Chain A
Amino acid sequence: MDAVQPEGVRYVAKNMRVDLRLIAEMIAPASRVLDIGCGDGSLIDHLYRTKGCDARGIEIDMAEVTRAVVHGLPVMHGDADHDLAQYPDGAFDYVVLSRTLQAVERPREVLRQMLRIGRSALVSFPNFGHWQLRWQLLWTGQMPMTSVWAKPWHETPNIHPCTIRDFFALCEEEGYTVEKWLAIDEAGQKAPWTRAIGMANMFGDQALFQLRRG
């Protein structure tokens, strides 16, 4: 990862996760953003500093919330399953859910809420269709574990894993328009398979979708 920074990754947010960097690129300046599962708030800090966004966060882990508030970031304790219903319709331009969809209780409802309170939803998730996972399950007959899916089945908070294909299917079922999507490979780069879902689903470690209603 010490390689030359590719074009398009302009932001200095060195410690920011790859998917967050890619999400940041999708967000227009000066927009209103809600980041669900914002951790220590690095994305909202980045969006405020580089794009002048009114960015806020919700986080379930109180230690992370405290860290974010200590850094002066507008982050509140809350979670995707229970707290989105409180917001009024169209309160945000973008609602971000990064690497959290697989861990919520009701992913379908969370997506509905995101697209109710936001004009646009940005969702990233680890792809359970990756070839390594398929291979491990086929070969060992046990639940697969990789660097992305790093916890054993009895420990993982990821109760709703899905593949890129699954996610496309859900969007169709719910009538969401996929405005953009991309897969990210092991090296954290945008993978060049945006025209071939099957390939992305096989080789993409993570996926990132931008959705809007209807």
Chain B
Amino acid sequence: MAERVNSVVACRDMDTALPDIDHQRVVFDDGLTLECGQRLERLEVAYRTYGKLNAERTNAVLICHALTGDQYVAETHPVTGKPGWWEMVVGPGRPIDTERFFVICSNVIGGCMGSTGPLARRDGGEGPWGTDFPPVTVKDMVAAQRKLVGHFGIARLFAVAGGSLGGMQVLQWAANFPEMVFAAVPIATAPYHSAQNIAFNEVGRQSIFADPDWQGGRYWETGRIPARGLAVARMVAHITYLSEEALTRKFGRRVRGGQAMTAFADLFEVESYLRHQGSTFVGRFDANAYLTITRATDYFDLAEEFGGDLAAAFRGSRTRFCLISFTSDWLYPTAESRNIARALNGAAANVSFVEIASDKGHDAFLLDEPDFHRALRGFLAGCAEHAGLA
């Protein structure tokens, strides 16, 4: 039986919490009132910047990260030691050129890389928030970013860009602060979370709850984290980030040379790949943060805030939009970007919309996709011209 448990998710050294890192951050003592009505008395926003803010403060690009991303966009990650998640896109000479733009990225609130979230010390109490951390929404994440942007004295962002949950934040920015967003680039995203999206998130959450080490969310008390549950959540989610084509191309039905006809050893290559994805994830992510952020994405329905009319979210907007989707993305398929495009047209907004041919699924926005990178670079260059940025 012990062998079986080990093989369910083969992870070593998982029962350790996230390393304590001193993330760069701003503390807002005036706090933040959340959409749910609760108030964070003290708001911390962890962030990283790249490039230089010009004297006029007009060249700032805010990047919004996805579900399990963070502010370490274009540098070695302090926990994993791996390259930043968007190094192909952000950096000197890259499509979001840090020699030209001042790039800001902050950890979303509810996250676990230094911004206020379940790992942070609770207001006026002992120990971390844990599951008592109030539910946050995409709008709350944007409200926190808005404070950070104000902290830099930036009145208008040249661009806001992001994929997936990051794309939702971009849409929220454009809807709530249109005068602060010259250009918006929502990538591989949707205007609301579909039943299927919520369903997959729920499987992930249930697998965390089912882990005895979750301990009702107070796992810090014993020092044993719900590593297996979190790893399985990541495995399920990871499948939704890929495509059948990509899985077939990478793994097919190849076996790892293990003995056939066993139910428990990892036999197929795709299995060990997923197990690896799961086990490395738990070393860099907090289970309660995962629960909080997946919930935030599930709550997302931009039209709801505008009486059910998505076009109303963008009416009168002077922001220049560039929607980008990928052919094989079935998590946030092109049809969702088309819904956004339709709403933007309904508001007579300025829209570019391109679907990039890729077999890499939803993750394509993080990978080497030359057409995507060229389109992003070209769109920003065109906008820079319109914005009068030299």
Query: Which residues of A does B touch, CB under 8 Å?
Result: 54, 56, 62, 65-66, 68-78, 83, 86-88, 91
Give B382's nearest chain A residue, CB to CB: A72
CB pair A76 B351 closer than 8 Å: yes
Q: Which residues of A contact B351 (CB under 8 A)?
A: 56, 74, 76
CB pair A54 B350 closer than 8 Å: yes
28 contacts between A and B (CB under 8 A): A56-B350, A62-B355, A62-B357, A65-B353, A65-B354, A66-B356, A68-B352, A69-B322, A69-B354, A69-B375, A69-B379, A70-B375, A72-B385, A73-B352, A73-B382, A74-B320, A74-B352, A75-B352, A76-B354, A77-B353, A78-B341, A78-B353, A83-B342, A86-B342, A87-B345, A87-B348, A88-B346, A88-B347
Q: Which residues of B contact A66 (CB under 8 A)?
A: 354, 356, 371, 374-375
CB pair A70 B378 closer than 8 Å: yes
With A65-B354, A69-B375, A70-B375 known, 20 other A-B pairs at CB within 8 A are A62-B354, A62-B357, A66-B354, A66-B374, A68-B352, A69-B352, A69-B379, A72-B382, A73-B352, A74-B350, A74-B351, A76-B323, A76-B351, A76-B353, A76-B354, A77-B341, A77-B353, A77-B354, A77-B355, A78-B353
Give B345's nearest chain A residue, CB to CB: A86
Count of residues in B whose CB is under 8 Å from the partner chain: 28
Q: Which residues of B contact A62 (CB under 8 A)?
A: 354-355, 357
CB distance from A117 to the nearest CB of B (A): 9
Knowing A69-B352, A87-B346, the reply to whether A76 touches B371 (Cβ < 8 A) is no
Query: Which residues of B does A touch, CB under 8 Å?
Result: 320, 322-323, 341-342, 345-348, 350-357, 371, 374-375, 377-383, 385
Total A-B contacts with CB atoms under 8 angstroms apart: 66
Q: Which residues of B contact A71 (CB under 8 A)?
A: 378, 382
CA distance A66 to B372 in the complex (A): 9
CB distance from A55 to the nearest CB of B (A): 10
CA distance A56 to B347 in the complex (A): 14
Q: Which residues of A contact B352 (CB under 8 A)?
A: 68-69, 73-76
CB distance from B348 to the nearest CB of A (A): 4
Q: Which residue among A54, A71, A77 has the maximum number of chain B CB atoms within 10 Å of its CB?
A: A77
CB distance from B334 to the nearest CB of A (A): 9
Q: Which residues of B contact A88 (CB under 8 A)?
A: 346-348
CB distance from A144 to the nearest CB of B (A): 36
Q: Which residues of B contact A73 (CB under 8 A)?
A: 352, 382
Q: Which residues of A contact B320 (CB under 8 A)?
A: 74
A69, A78, A87: the one contacting B378 at CB < 8 Å is: A69
Q: Which residues of A contact B379 (CB under 8 A)?
A: 69, 72
CA distance A64 to B303 in the complex (A): 31
Q: Which residues of B contact A65 (CB under 8 A)?
A: 353-354
Q: Which residues of A contact B375 (CB under 8 A)?
A: 66, 69-70
CA distance A88 to B347 in the complex (A): 7
Q: Which residues of B contact A72 (CB under 8 A)?
A: 378-383, 385
CA distance A62 to B383 in the complex (A): 21
CB pair B348 A91 closer than 8 Å: yes
Knowing A56-B351, A70-B377, A74-B350, the reply to whether A83 touches B345 (Cβ < 8 A) is yes
CA distance A86 to B374 in the complex (A): 28
CB pair B346 A86 closer than 8 Å: yes
Q: Which residues of B contact A54 (CB under 8 A)?
A: 350
